[in-house]
Structure 1
Amino acid sequence: MRRLASLITALLITLGSPLLQADQSGPEPRRIQGIGYIEPANEIRRVAFKHPGILGEYKVELGQQVKAGDILALQKNAEEQLAVTVAEAQLAVAKADLEKVMAGINPYEIEAKKNAQKVSALDAEYARRKLERIDRLQNSKFASEDERDLAETSAKLKQADSLRLLSETRYLTNYVRDVDKQAALAQVAVAEARLKAAQQSFAETFLVAPIDGTVLENILRVGESTFSTSSPEPVLLLGDLSKLRVRAEVDENYALLLRAGQKAILFGRGLGDKEIPARVSLVKQIMGKKTVFAKTATERKDIDVIQVFIDPESPLHAPVGLEVNVKIELN
């Protein structure tokens, strides 16, 4: 079944045509006739996952129309989902540490320490003035040496206690250092980056439609690897069927006779009795090797060809890959 899907994929993606042959009615051909294949105007998208994994589930069915951004399929992603959960928890811890650092000391504790420092400063000032009075009394012989020593010691103790409380107040006020803030902020930034990376890895386990279109083929089965020999394996084919065109290959002998705007006609067994007016919309500016063959006895397989795109003048409703006959007018 998978080999059959691969063959279908190859057929739909090449979308080339056998060599067009010219009607020869004079020295110069006036019409080129041959075979082409119908394809979406914006070509078929072979949609694949970005990273290796196991296909877990299809979210769409064959023939379903989707919009760009719709989820088409997903890989088994329990590990990626767990990584997101862990990263979210790490970010929450980092933010809590930052809040703790930024909060610093309880402001009421700082206020109490400032008040205590003010009281101590007043007490030290009072002790200093008392020492000055004792000095004056001692000079007048009204105070003993012991009284002066006691007053001096008390003043020094009060001053030292005032300086201690002042230092403690400054410590509490400047408890949160800039280096601590920067370290906590850096931890939050690292945790946010890890979460973003985990979320990106998780998001890449979802296969998203790149364009509006129709699901043309499911290539892989659920449970199969989405990578083969280190290369992405296409999961499904997606094409916009709102506008179809024909891709054809033209013999190198007629490459210089082709140009955009030339009239063309689409017809053939697949279209019944219809003859659909069309025009050449693009002549590719690069030659290539022949990819699709008419399987006739006289067909040459070693010539170079140029691809042309032909747009019908009215909406075309037909299966992608349908073989049609093409006539291109050269005048």
Structure 2
Amino acid sequence: MKRPSFSRVILPIIAVIGIIGSIIYLFNAQPDTSLSNPKETPARTPQSQRQTGSIVGTGVTEPSSEVVDIATNVPGVVTKVFVAPGDQVSAGQALLEIDSRSARAAVSEAAARAATARQSIAAAQTGLRVAQNQYALYQNVDDSRAVSQQEVITRRDAVANARAQLSVAQAQAQQADAQVTQARVELARHVVRAPSAMEVLQVDTRAGEYAGTQGSASVLMKLGATKPLHVRLDIDENQIEKIAIGQPAVISARGDAKRQVKAVFVRAEPLIVPKRSLTNSATERVDVRVLQLIFALPEDGAQFFVGQQVDGFVPAKVKQ
């Protein structure tokens, strides 16, 4: 049987199969042109500002106190952590404790020195009373021939010396008390306390871990006053002249334009800074500087969290 020719039979078959495969691939590779609703609702101008216009800004929520990074005054091993994320703490409340055994020993040692100094005062007071009594006896002698003038002078000097010793003992006691105070202050520095009434946002340390005092690793907790929350909106520098600074803004969570709340103007940051809050939009410019406007969210029903991205609509100036 004659073998089929490769160039006349097999090669055309391979070409036809390749053409059919290319047609199928091109058909399946066509983009989907069907219409569908977006997964996230895009930001849109609120109804109340559609007549006057608005300027859109992006930003994040933050505590009204801004985020407070908590570190320790002294390096050491963390022995206790007293709070957890979400806890409300009051001013001066203990947050965590650093190993304080050496500081406690220093307090005990200073207290012992203070006790010794107080005993020295008691001894010096006794010596002064004895010297004064002996000097009084010599002064009360009627017959001057019974006691020499030198002995009277010696007893008088003994009183003065006893007074000096008492003054030295009292000064040493004051120094010892100051050392006790200093040791107690050093002991108190081993307990990190809340600077004011705030909410614990993040705890980045555990019992048994080492806490330093330098670098980014020194931040052990993040606190902030979350009642109310603030929104930091970035307004592009080329839009600054168009906004009505001081007017309330409408804030919506990123991707949830249906949920809109009115935020009260707090302040405008006086420093223009590089843009940092990005939307990942293909048309977004990142080489611009922005004016940061701070707004306060309502305390009830806002349902925002610290660090959440938001879209903000600031009223535009009314054209004259």
Tell me the TM-score normalized by structure 2.
0.73
How far apart, in 1, do the equivalents of 2:123 and 2:100 lie?
Answer: 35
Output one character per residue of 1:207-261: Cα deviation in whole Å (capped at 9) or x when no partner.
1001112211111222222216567711111122221121121111122334542
Give, in whole Å, the separation in 2 of the partners of 1:114 and 1:310. 82
The AA in structure 1 aligned to 2:315 is: E
Q: Secondary structure at the match of 1:177?
A: helix
Corresponding position: 1:224 with 2:209: yes
Point out the structure with the larger helix share.
1
Query: Residue 179 of structure 2 corresponds to which residue in structure 1?
Result: 194
1:90 equivalenced with 2:113 (yes/no): yes
Secondary structure of 1:275's partner? strand
1:86-129 deviation per Cα after TM superposition (whole angstroms, max 9, x unaligned): 1111111122212322332455x86577557756x44x7xxxxx
Counterpart residue number, 1:71: 94
Q: Is it true that 1:304 corresponds to 2:303 in the alignment?
A: no
Aligned residues: 269
Change (3 A) 1:206 1:92: same
Match of 2:278 in 1: 293
- Matched residue, 2:233: 248
C-alpha distance after superposition, 1:31-56 (max 9, x if no partner): 11233222111112111112222211
Corresponding residue for residue 64 of structure 2: 41
CA shift, 1:290, in A, is: 1.6
Asked if the contact 2:55–2:315 (Cα under 8 Å) also holds between the matched residues in 1, the reply is yes
1:320 aligns to what? Answer: 306
- Structure 2: state its 5+ residue gaps: 1-42, 47-51
Q: What is aligned with 1:177? A: 163
Give TM-score, length-normalised by structure 1: 0.71
Q: Give the partner amino acid of 1:201.
A: E
Q: Is the 8 A contact 2:60 2:277 kept in 1?
A: no
Bigger Cα displacement from structure 2, 289-298 vs 253-262:
253-262
Percentage identity across paired residues of the two chains: 26
Deviation of 1:85 (Å): 0.8
Unmatched segments (≥5 aa) in structure 1: 1-19, 24-28, 125-158
Instruction: Show the counterpart of 1:13.
Output: none
Specify the alignment match of 1:239 in structure 2: 224
Question: Partners of 1:227 and 1:111 in 2: how far apart?
Answer: 61
SS in 2 for 1:39: strand
Q: Give me the whole-angstrom Cα distance separating, in 1, the residues matched to 2:132 and 2:179.
A: 38
Root-mean-square deviation (CA, aligned residues, Å) is 3.0
Distance 2:225 2:152 in 1: 78
Deviations 1:118-159 (A, max 9, x none): 56x44x7xxxxxxxxxxxxxxxxxxxxxxxxxxxxxxxxxx2
Query: What's the CA shift for 1:81?
Result: 0.9
Tell me whether 1:210 sits opposite 2:195 in the alignment: yes
Letter in 1 for 2:70: V
SS state of the match for residue 84, structure 2? coil
- Equivalent in the alignment of 1:282: 267
Q: Measure, in 1, the Cα distance between the counterparts of 2:138 and 2:243.
A: 98
The code of the aligned residue for 1:186 comes to: A
